[in-house]
Structure 1
């Protein structure tokens, strides 16, 4: 549709506009005529009637505007962009409950882009976008005549009738600031200064300053561009001209010169807006508003930005085949907004959106990943639709709450894979459960129940730590395991009862030591244990393990138990120590085996089989204060010796040696039996042949300090390739190696030992051939 001003003739109209009719009124009807009022607007104005909500991602503002025009069927000849600078790619732009017309106007105002309309006979009205004085519409015609209107109309002559100029104060400068969490240390402050430094400059026209926050720049360069645009919008309105005339060629965003010079506009005037008038009986005229053409025009930011108060629902999305939460390196999610009807690739439905958390800090905080389909609530920084963040997570009918109504006393954290922390507040059943389904590993504290809230057994109280997999309890400074009752406010390492009991046991050992010493038996090494108790175990001054229980300690296994110590094992009981074996009871000692009974004696009995007592490399002594009885209930008694047998009592004796029998007595020798004397005879008796054992070990020192090296891992290897592994004790000693013949035993210092590069030497035992050698590939040997 076209509208025009012109004479009632076949000549082309003097002024013509093309567009669409957006309003039609019938004003009056008579016999002679019907009067109508039509509103003719550019095709662009039709976008006022298209309101929608949608997202644009990773596009510049010119690209977004072009996309909307194409969506409405505009071709490349219906609009034109003229750009003097490159535009930043907007990560995320939201059109929220806005018409396309308002949306485009808002974006252009933010980027300092203006637009005007050109009239083409073939293409109709064409929208021209520009951002620089270079893009103003210009013509090469003569200057416009300025003829002040005095009431006399000059028919056919185009001229300006009047031109009034208004001067406005401007601000001294504009400051902007913002914060970008992606580069939190980047200062996004920018400012402009309109003060002139020349002495002749008049700065009295400068009035006040402006400060803006939240323009949402990403970099300092973007912040400076935004600040400059705001300042240019202020400067271009310092001088405003209002006038009237009938210049047909005058149009918005077109520069005109006058035949009268104006110092405010040495490059002419830029028309911003016009109002045309004319009728059958009134010649065409117009009024207009203009600014000096040397200034960069920036449209005022009059189109309001949508403001979202409250929240919007959304759903977390993910890329294809993503089993777990789809987050980026900054812990951000992608979401699908309910008003967004466009199709996006999976995981690309939105910009990365941050999740507000109750606690956060550098490399620490609270994190519970959100999985695809989870409903979230979006809030918006300053209500800006372009700046969403997840402020809450919701359950819905498709993703129900994990706590039903009848569990209103439970506090539960349960993850996607059913890892959970449960805290029950039900009176009388208070408990905490920390569990994972993997190998059913659980820690239960308090009232221990099953999934139906039933108590697990009559004694289902206290705590339970269980798993179907392996378990380990470690404490680098020591462990106290106690069944002693203690107030909850008591000391953590209160072990007074245990220490008192151990000291009592050591006192008993000390007392028996005195009795054993009197009987020429060996002492137990209770002094060493007393020192360890004082220096290491009490209050766990060193890494030790203390177990105590007032009602007893029991251990059981279907296989074997191993108790080992690098130094000593002490067993002390106040009453009885009982050892029972279903088959054999074997005790080996590298040095001596000592038994001492203070009051009730020692009994050794074998119900079946022999009793053998041997001193394989030394004497055998059997002594009794009173009678000594040697009997055989159903057999014979044989006494044999390789060299000599001597039986004596109060000076009388019988001596068997060298095949002879010698009987001597200081008194009478009585023979109360018939005496038969025959020729010489003898009995040979087999004498046991005892095998020789050989033994030896190492003592490892540090050559620099001369001190023994303790806790050093090593491995002993015999000539039969028998390997013995261990750790040196407090004196630097290894365990003893035992062989049945003299042979070499090699020591190897373990690879991972920090002592590998030290110089070592040893002190061995003469009965074994021990040696030390260095092997580059294996360590010290």
Structure 2
């Protein structure tokens, strides 16, 4: 009889092609096997489940081996045979994927080890303790920047424990023992070794034992050494050894640990290697060997590592069965120990979290002598409410010498490790946070004030919302206050005694961005400058004096873009020694409403016009006027006198028109207006006034040439003047700036918002974990209520999460659920843990490689991977956010019951990551989508992703107005290339029973619902390689359509005229009125009902119901968009009048969704989209124009005008029988009139409104796009 292997855990017969099992004590095992079946094993063998192999020996005795399925790769090896390569490992491997720092206070070592093992998914009954003495309870047990597996092995090595794995009732169990004397004997009994020839003779065809035996003895030098508080090692030779020398706290511990280390380092000194066909001789098991036969030395042995190899060929190409086992053993009486892991380099100080396994709510604290490192027990005398600073005194001191926070559960502390040894850790202090605030506050005057004997005082105060610094002397009469009040921050500088002198060798600048600068004095204010003194304000500069205001300089320049007003209560006197030049481009008026002007000059007085207007002198109803053609008109209200002492000469002909003008045109009295800001005159840093006529061109683009998002910018000139604005398409132009240097800051997002969004995400994820913890108890009770047969079904893999939420039997609907998930769950379990690890470290390229492998090897498409990767790449740049997201799947599953964790370890972790990273659209068959907090978490992650993306754009640089500088930033690479993409034809969460071709045909009919019949009949749906695609009978009749990601869309290469965006806005639902929110919620419910009908139709395979469901979905989505548009117009254009936009037809093609006329006469053209709808297109002449473009808008209005002419020519128009028709046509005519009027004045706003929605509900933001339609 030959050795054979049977596989348990599948519903169909499985053929084992080959099998290799390696086991090692204190390490684990690795099982690789190639299997064949007539069915796809990937549908049955779920990653994270347990799989059992039965090895039946030639003597008909069976050995069972169980492990957790970590990886499976499947594919068809022939036309009717599917092959699968599986890898089994112990669940303990999961502990290698985490790293953390914790301090377990007053913790028993066994409890800590139990906690770690349970984190890997082992229930308490699968942890076998075989120890004879209790493990110690430690005041503190430190995990210092270690993964859980390293921490686990370090504790085992420290206390002389070992571990191995056993199989009990098809369940993988872990055994922890004090040594190999607790190792179980195999049930076969005494084993033998064959004769020296190593052959199994004919009379021993049923022989099970060993055919080869080899002994190995090694001589090892040196030993181990443990010191009592030895820091550092005591000798050079010991420090140069390959192992470290740990420290013990007392001689007894020193003796025990030295012995354990010695045994660990001497491991493998005497080994026996046995080769044969004994399947039970695995690591951790013992057996008795007959020493009378062969070369083996008789006695009891313990196997420390083994290897089994089995081959029998494919079912289609069977070969002779080949099987052998190899066991490396040590004498059972020779103790086995674990060598401690090497210490990794650690920072001098790092944070750790205080934990308590006892569940006690009393608080740990420092002792009365203030000793942190030696006494950190919980104390029942410290109340829960004590969360503030408490004084403590060091040993031997009566007065308090410092402050500390009481150690509370989950407190964050600062620790360090001597020689990188976690067993030699020390507590340095506390990491400040919301529950452990700053020490320096007004409530702690002994710590925040530095005061000298002469009453000189420096005070720091970190009180929340009002932090400040005070520097004072002379009992506060001289002081400086820097106050950071969040509502009204200020700086207060006071000198009540003596003078305050401010002197600078170069410049002194006083600036205020928003409010005023006031310089007040009771006596004299003197502002003196050797060169220039400049006063500049964005509003006004006021110089006011009760008596005289003297302004004296070599040169005084007064310039204004609009008006200059000089106003005097009595008289205005200008005395100029040379010339007075008065010049105006338009009118120049000199008037005195209640007096007269006297203009005197030693030389000439010339009044000259530019030739484009009239020059008029007027007074008392009379005037002298010279027009632009050179004609002179003289009008006297009473008497005209021409007088000359010598003569009056008229040179040329003269005509008299006595009856022309009856009165003089008096010029109007100018009104004294408020002084406007001088935009064209500016001061440079050295105090020189200059003309502000320069332009700064900002250009901010990604490295691939695409513009960055429309973010804010701030430009600060070297004279302190600030210009702000927003980029548009990556560019901005700032005109009329002074020449010189400037600093530009691009503002994407600030850190405070990032911190707030991180907290929002953390809260939502914590709520999801707490929610599932409560539900786990319900599931356990339901499992207990089932009979043994049903429990077997559950533990064999038929149970999936979520059914117990309805309070039903857990086996109700299992067949439907498995059927529904069979095509949507993929072989990604093993890769998921690696992806989470790469995310935690920010390794983007490693994540890209893993996801590409998933996409290329999956038998079906996994929707959302590309979108999820874009999110993960951005989140990976934020260390805190990526750690939060990477740790969540493990936290979430740890909150489940043991049965669920067995089923959900790997594959569903990927679904959770996919669901969150796609903000809900990537949620496949995952119970996480049913969480009450799932939507909240996805929205928080979506906002955090967008904010993190914008934060990358924060950038500040210097520049000069004389040089144009282009700003570039590298673009995050979010593409996943060279992968196999298989289009899906149904939502991933529903098992598709509708034929793919029929499904696409239904979608196409819904898409073309408003199209003419000849256009509908031009399309047909065909299958190519099993995939549906759309063809046209006549390519000139209609445009090319494509089926992409479950939707019908126009071929992207058909857009000739894309739209241009002027600006994008977002309207949060939180800002809407309660009535508006309720309307959207009602429409959301209607759309959700249609989605439920769609899923039911897909599942049942009813094509007619599916067609009706898609029609209802489209109608609900369109109404969502329409309602969102109405809400936007009501809130932003109050009083706007609706105009008729609907034509007198049933369809919606060739018309806008909504039209309005605002109170100031502007025309609003509204495109409304709901659900997942995107901007469409239409033919505008011979070119296809995208919705939102000027060409698209003109084409629609042309269609309105054409239709209006048809309606006006209709005999029904104006008929009394068709009054409704006539009224509708007149409304349409009024709309066309409004359009023509707005077109002439270019007062049209073209706006797109989108209310996005997914299968799990609305996106609580209305997206507003203002299109650029300027030609």
Q: Provide the TM-score with structure 1 as the length reference.
A: 0.41
Q: Provide the TM-score with structure 2 as the length reference.
A: 0.27
Q: Which has the higher relative contact order, 1 or 2, with Cα contacts under 8 A spaced 6 or more apart? A: 2
Whose radius of gyration is greater, 1 or 2? 1
